[in-house]
Amino acid sequence: MKIGIPKETIPGEFRVATVPDAVKKFCGKGFTVCVEKSAGESAHFTDEAYVQAGAQLVGNDEALGADLVLKVGVPAPGEIDKMKSGGVLCSLLDPCRNENALTGLAGKGVTALAVELIPRTTRAQSMDVLSSQAGIAGYRAIIEAASRYPRFFPMMMTSAGAARPAKLIVLGAGVAGLQAIATARRLGCDVEAFDVRPAVREEIQSLGAKFIDLDVGESGAGEGGYAKELSEEGKKRQQAALTEYLKKANIIVSTALIPCRDAPVLITEDAVKGLAEGSVIIDLAAASGGNCPLSEPDQVVVKHGVSLVGHTNYPSMVPGDASAFYARNLFNLVSILVEEKEGNLAWKDFAEDDISKAATVTRGGEIVYQKP
């Protein structure tokens, strides 16, 4: 069975779906791995390293025409055209927002697995790309904040005077938020955090940060550990309480998301106006509408004296490790998709395993994904 690794084409995407270490593992399982020339270049994996690991270097058509295509970003129509009818694709597909890609994949007869739909269960933990990439995003967001903030993060005592530790507030303490808290603590910030799921209070405290106790009058805990949308009343109460509370922050890192919905507005324009000159807002939800209506996707803007950073692909800013983690997740996923039959690798029935079933979005020429 042939695996194809095409070079990613979305602007700003520097990751690659497989790295040389994973190629060795795939070859050890009996796969033939075909990597498009220079596919790993932007993540600093050379063609030579892939060849040494056992891969064949191929052109774009051959990589996309493989039995199994591993990708990071949603394939463009021209890429889907080159895929094999009856082939399998594993990629981030953001199925809530990309119906056209699903229609194209179904029309081509490709069985597509959207890897962000892998359930957050213990058995699927080693395949959980959302977590591996969100952890990187949380870390990189703090590095970004530190480079934009015009003062120190840690307390500094020098002969030229003393600087206080920066006050950093994290909104949304899922995987990205918790890693942001941990990284900001390591850099010496004074950290506070808020989440609508009360269950995260202890996790926030265990990282040495203060849990912000906001009474929004309702719990935001939804199904499967995810948050649910607050009522209109709840949203207003939360915005009003945060506008007051956020005045003390020097840096705000917001990560609040609700699956398949626009991101909740947590930082109003009044809250931005309440911040001191030189403050920084890192809006990790910028791709989903933003937690702050003033942030702009993929832009850094200054409004009311505050830097608003709207980068939408932080994992791509750490492409080496992000690709290595992603490749490991995908190797573990692919391992449960195949079995050996008479000395050859064959597909299992994806509908019979809860992980592959949950991730399958197109099969047999149809879209089988249902929006939550």
Ligand X SMILES: NC(=O)c1ccc[n+]([C@@H]2O[C@H](COP(=O)([O-])OP(=O)(O)OC[C@H]3O[C@@H](n4cnc5c(N)ncnc54)[C@H](O)[C@@H]3O)[C@@H](O)[C@H]2O)c1
How far apart are alpha carbons 153 and 253 in whole angstroms? 14
How far apart are alpha carbons 171 and 102 in whole angstroms? 32
Residue for token digits 């705000």? 252
Instruction: Give min distance, CB of 214 to ligand X, in A.
Output: 9
Taking the alpha carbons of 153, 255, 175, 71 in that order, is the dihedral positive or negative? negative
Query: Does residue 131 have an active-site annotation?
Result: yes
Instruction: Give min distance, CB of 258 to ligand X, in A.
Output: 5
Instruction: Name the residue with the smallest CB distance to ligand X.
Output: 174
Could you tell me which stretch among 107-115, 254-262, 305-313, 352-360 binds ligand X (CB under 6 A)?
Answer: 254-262
Does residue number 355 form part of the binding site for ligand X (CB under 6 A)? no
What is the contact mask toward ligand X in residues 162 to 191, using x (rule: CB under 6 A)? ---------xxxxxxx--------------
Task: Pick between residue 111 and residue 255 the one whose CB is nearest to ligand X.
Answer: 255
Binding to ligand X (CB under 6 A): which residues in 192-221? 194-197, 220
How far apart are alpha carbons 87 and 62 in whole angstroms? 13
Q: Which of 67, 226, 261, 335 is catalytic?
A: 226
Among 211, 226, 245, 347, binds ligand X (CB under 6 A): 226
How far apart are alpha carbons 324 and 337 in whole angstroms? 20
Burial class (CB in 10 A: 0-12, 13-18, 19+), 194: buried
Instruction: Give min distance, CB of 229 to ligand X, in A.
Output: 8
How far apart are alpha carbons 148 and 185 in whole angstroms? 17
Binding to ligand X (CB under 6 A): which residues in 33-72? none
Q: Which of 21, 125, 201, 219 is catalytic?
A: 125
Helices marked H in the chain: 20-29, 47-53, 60-64, 77-82, 99-108, 129-148, 175-186, 201-206, 232-245, 269-273, 319-335, 354-359
Could you tell me the two tokens for 150? 């015009």
Query: Does residue 67 have an active-site annotation?
Result: no
Among 128, 190, 192, 283, binds ligand X (CB under 6 A): 128
Which positions are annotated as active-site residues? 120, 125, 128, 131, 226
- List residues near ligand X by CB under 6 A: 120, 125, 128, 130-131, 134, 171-177, 194-197, 220, 225-227, 230, 255-259, 264, 266
